[in-house]
Structure formats: C-alpha cells, structure tokens
Amino acid sequence: EVQLVESGGGLAQPGRSLRLSCGASGFSFDDFAMHWVRQVPGKGLEWVAGIGWNSGSIGYADSVRGRFTISRDNAKKSLYLQMNSLRADDTALYFCVKDMVGYYGDHRGWYFDLWGRGTLVAVSS
Amino acid sequence: DIVMTQSPDSLAVSLGERATINCKSSQSVLYSSNNRNYLAWYQHKPGQPPKLLIYWASTRASGVPDRFSGSGSGTDFTLTISSLQAEDVAVYYCHQYYSTLYTFGQGTKLEIK
C-alpha cells in the first residue's frame, strides 16, 4: 500500500526538542523530494520544510529556519524533522508529504500527491 | 511570500446542488514559459490525510470524480463541485507551487445544508 506514516509527536515544554519521523511504503522513496506541512488547530496549512531526493537541496519556512532541521534516510525510507527550541506557536498537526518530483528548490515547485495522517505536536508548560 | 486567500471560509450547500470555492493569490501563479498555472486543490476530511484533487489549476488527479472541476488563471481560481454528495463534506485548500516557499489558502469548510 502506498502510504506515509508519521510518528514522534507529543507534548513538549517550550524550549525543548522533539524529533518527528515518517515512514514511507509502496513507492520508490529515494526518487522523490519530501516535505513537512503543519496545520495549527482550527487554522490552515503551513509548509514547514522540504528536502530533495538526495538531501542536496533543503528549504525552510521563515518561522522555523534555524530551529528545525529536515533530513532523510533513503535506505530506511524515512523522513525526519528535528524540532529544537520549540515554541507554543509550533503546536500543530504535522504532515509528511510526498512531492511529484525528486528535486526541491528549483525556480518552480510541484504539487504534493501523497500525505500522511499527521502526528500531533503540543508545546505547553 | 505569495498569500493565498480563499472565499468563503465556510459554505453550506444542499445535496445535489453546486458548490463553488474561490481562491485568490497575491501575485500571478501563471508561468509564462510553459503557460501553466501553479495551483492545486486538496480535500481534507477529519482523521484522513489531505487528498490531491486538482493540479495545474484544472487537471483532475487520478480517481477524482468528474463532478470536481477547477478553473481560473493568473490570480483568480475556482473549485466547483457540480452536484454535492454527502461524502464531499470536508475542508478544501488551494495551494500555490509557483514559488518553492509553498503557501496554502486558509481553507473552506464545506457542509450540507
């Protein structure tokens, strides 16, 4: 079955860290760029970070740059998001998302054709 | 960043009737080099992953019923459901991929009247 399954969410105190993971199955993971997108409760979607197929290109939203790190392990068919210095406004449902192509960060992007169900991150003291 | 604004925020439509959702971008997402609009639509039901409905503003994704259609160009786009079915209750998002600083609309919640 073609799917993405996120894990690693939970409750964290402000200033602490969490690491999200995403396992891919049913497609050739190392052929595609991947992304993290989040949804604040009751709000819309926000793109967080993207990574190319070989980790050669990476990008971040301004709101997380310098605090979050996206990475991937193609041998394990896994995507990661290391979240440091967490803030209350990082509270959200985090989705792992597959790109249509392998590269990220070119002049123009592509749409996203596969999403996971998400993992919930709550940041509170 | 390109700001995406959807209207309305919520919509109630009777079964079998037409539903129309609008999306406006703060700058054109039409790329002149290939004459493509870098605009997609997603459907999100609670507890499920968001689902790709439309890409390139008007191309239906595989398996999407033909009652869903997308239109528009430049900065103004529309998602139309020609005859609303009960299973179409969801939140719908537009998404620009013209810039790799991807952005989404705030979402439109579609309900049955």
Tens digit of each residue's pLDDT (9 = 90 or more) over A109-123: 999 999 999 999 999
Q: Are A116 and A4 in contact (CB under 8 A)?
A: yes
Closest residue of chain B to A115, computed from CA coordinates: B49
Test mutation, A34, A99, A111, chain B, max B CBs within 10 A: A111
Decide: helix, strand or coil at residue A29.
helix
Q: Are B70 and B84 in contact (CB under 8 A)?
A: no
The Cα-based distances of A34 to A41, A45, A118 in angstroms read: 23, 16, 14
**pLDDT confidence of B13, banded at 50, 70, 90?**
very high
Tens digit of each residue's pLDDT (9 = 90 or more) over B22-32: 999 999 999 99
pLDDT of B106 over the 80 cut: yes
Model pLDDT, residue A105: 84
Q: Looking at residues A43-54, what average pLDDT do you find?
A: 95
Distance from CA of B16 to the nearest CA of A (A): 27
pLDDT of A106 over the 80 cut: no
Facing residues of A19 across strands? Answer: A82
Closest residue of chain A to B45, computed from CA coordinates: A117
pLDDT of A77 over the 90 cut: yes
Model pLDDT, residue A42: 82
Tens digit of each residue's pLDDT (9 = 90 or more) over B35-62: 999 999 999 998 899 999 999 999 999 9
Q: Looking at residues B1-22, what average pLDDT do you find?
A: 97
Model pLDDT, residue B55: 98
Q: How many CB atoms lie within 10 A of CB B18?
A: 12
Radius of gyration for the alpha carbons in chain B, expressed in angstroms and rounded: 13
Distance from CA of B15 to the nearest CA of A (A): 25
